[in-house]
Each structure stands twice: as structure tokens, then as C-alpha cells.
């Protein structure tokens, strides 16, 4: 890995400062740059390449970015590396799209590195994900009308990801942990209930004891039914492809949880 968390944070601070100035320029002409976040992100893609290249250059002095169409976003000659930079913001649906140009992979059988910066609407909270060696098969086939753009198979590509800022959480783990706790609570409450019934059984007359014994049998059946239902839910989530929640990080130290990224 040729870029550190500290370097990513420094580049993000520079991007944020640049954005603040750009936002003021728009405001001075009575325009709001945040009315169209897609266009905002296009405007900020050049600064992203510039500031991240500057950070990488501190370790690899030959690093450069030229911004020319058809050229890699950042080139690191010392490592024979090309780094593609992407800036994205969640859609109104809450999902995030990690895309690439299909042509990017031509002539690169060993894969291409990507640096995805995820920013919130206000450009205050960020995640930086560095993928190494992504290949064409890590992305879906082109869809009709995609204009050469392809979507990442996140459940495949995430294994190649270095999280530099923010956090990536596998939603399967969230649900599995939640259901495991639910199963533990069900079993704990069941054990208490059975203990109470057994204590009652010791002092009851035969006619009442029979009713209590039946209650115990029913409690055992209910417990098994509840636990089995929870186990089925856990098994269902274990069998699913991963889907992810991205936690954005404020450089000033405050985390902001964003909506989930669904792996499709």
C-alpha cells in the first residue's frame, strides 16, 4: 500500500478547503453548487487527483497527474502503478455507486488500482477506499445506456479494499449479531421461566402439578420454535452475498453513518 491514512486525511483537508472556496465563488454569482451533486463531484475530481498525487509524491517523487482524457488519473512510475480516482456521493435512494469506464482495464491484465472518495452532500464527511488490482471481472457487464460505464461487484471487489478513512461494515455481520443476541435473550428468558415452573412443581398437589408439567412441555416447544426461527434467519444472512454500510468520517473526529451500499 503506497498511501497511508494520514496522507489520505491531508488530501481530504485540502479538497475540503478548495471546495469551500469554490462554493463561495458559486455563491457570489447567486448559484448553489450543491443543487447538482453529480456536477459538483465532476468539478472536484481534478482537485482530488491533484491533492492525492501530491501526497503520494512525498514518498514517490516521480508521481504525476496530468488530467488528459484517456490517460490514467495518477501515475506512479517508481511502482509501475496507475491509480484511477473516483468521487461519489450517495443517491437519493441511499445507495452508492462505484463505477469505472469499461475501457480502463484494456492493456492491464494484472489489474488497475482505484481510489474512491465518498463524500456527503455538504462535503464535510468522507470515506476513502483504496482498491488494489481490480480487474474487469470485478465489475458488472455494461448495461443498456451506460455509455461504457460499469458498476463494481462490491461483494467481489471489497476483498481488495484498503479502508483509509471511514469504515466498511458487512451488513450480514450486523444482522447475524443481532439475531444471535435475540436467540440468547430468548434462551435466557426461557431458562428463568422453566426454573420458576420447576420450583412451583415441587410444592404443588398432583392435580395442579399435572397442569404445570404440561405448561413446561409447551414452554419447551415454544422455545425450540422461536430459536429455530432465529437460526433460519441467521442461516439466510450467512448464505447471502455481502452488502455494506459505509461509515463516513469527519476529519475533525465525528463519524456520520450513511445509508447502506447494496451489493447487486
Check residue 255 and give its pLDDT.
52
Mean pLDDT (the chain, rounded): 89
Of 29-43, 183-197, 237-251, least confident by mean pLDDT is: 237-251
DSSP state of 262: P
- Look at residue 254 in the predicted model and tell me its pLDDT: 52
Q: Does pLDDT of 257 surpass 60?
A: no
pLDDT at 207: 79
Is the domain spanning 5-165 CATH 3.40.50? The answer is no
CA dist 174 → 168, 178, 240 (Å): 12, 6, 13
Is residue 181's pLDDT more than 90?
yes
pTM, full prediction:
0.79
What per-residue confidence (pLDDT) applies to 91? 79
Mean pLDDT of 208-227: 89
Q: Quick check: helix, strand or coil at residue 247?
A: strand
For residue 253, pLDDT over 70 is answered with no
Q: Which three cell numbers stand for residue 4?
A: 497511508
Cell match 448553489: residue? 32
What DSSP assignment string belongs to 105-155? GTT-TT-EEEEEEEE-TTS-EEEEEEEEEE-GGGBPPPPTT-TTEEEB-HH
Structure confidence at residue 261 (pLDDT): 42
Strands 149-151 and 255-261: unpaired
Question: Do residues 100 and 111 touch, judged by C-beta distance below 8 A?
Answer: no
Region 193-204: mean pLDDT is 87
DSSP letter at 61 equals T
Residue 94 DSSP code: S
Mean pLDDT score, 1-16: 95
Distance CA 86, CA 42 (A): 9
Enumerate the domain spans of the chain: 5-165, 173-239
**Cβ-Cβ contacts under 8 Å for 8 (sequence gap 6 or more):** 52, 55, 128, 130, 164, 165
Amino acid at each position: 500500500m503506497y498511501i497511508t491514512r494520514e496522507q489520505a486525511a491531508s488530501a481530504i483537508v485540502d479538497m475540503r478547503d478548495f471546495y469551500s472556496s469554490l462554493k463561495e465563488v458559486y455563491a457570489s454569482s447567486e448559484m448553489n453548487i450543491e443543487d447538482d451533486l453529480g456536477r459538483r463531484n465532476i468539478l472536484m475530481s481534478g482537485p482530488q487527483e491533484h491533492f492525492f498525487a501530491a501526497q503520494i509524491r512525498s514518498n514517490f517523487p516521480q508521481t504525476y497527474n496530468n488530467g488528459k482524457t484517456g490517460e490514467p488519473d495518477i501515475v506512479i512510475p517508481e511502482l509501475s502503478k496507475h491509480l484511477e480516482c473516483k468521487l461519489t456521493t450517495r443517491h437519493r435512494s441511499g445507495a452508492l455507486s462505484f463505477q469505472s469506464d469499461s475501457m480502463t482495464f484494456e492493456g492491464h491484465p494484472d489489474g488497475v488500482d482505484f481510489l474512491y472518495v465518498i463524500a456527503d452532500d455538504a462535503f464535510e464527511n468522507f470515506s476513502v477506499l483504496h482498491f488494489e488490482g481490480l480487474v474487469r471481472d470485478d465489475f458488472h457487464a455494461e448495461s443498456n445506456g451506460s455509455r461504457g460505464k460499469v458498476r463494481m461487484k462490491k461483494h467481489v471487489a471489497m476483498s481488495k479494499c484498503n479502508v483509509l478513512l471511514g469504515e466498511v461494515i458487512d451488513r450480514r455481520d450486523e444482522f447475524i449479531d443481532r439475531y444471535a443476541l435475540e436467540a440468547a435473550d430468548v434462551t435466557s428468558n426461557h431458562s428463568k421461566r422453566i426454573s420458576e415452573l420447576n420450583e412451583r412443581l415441587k410444592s404443588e398437589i398432583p392435580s395442579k402439578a399435572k397442569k404445570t408439567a404440561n405448561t413446561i412441555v409447551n414452554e419447551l416447544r415454544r422455545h425450540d420454535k422461536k430459536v429455530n426461527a432465529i437460526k433460519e434467519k441467521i442461516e439466510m444472512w450467512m448464505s447471502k452475498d455481502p452488502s455494506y454500510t459505509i461509515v463516513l468520517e469527519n476529519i475533525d473526529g465525528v463519524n456520520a453513518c450513511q445509508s447502506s451500499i447494496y451489493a447487486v
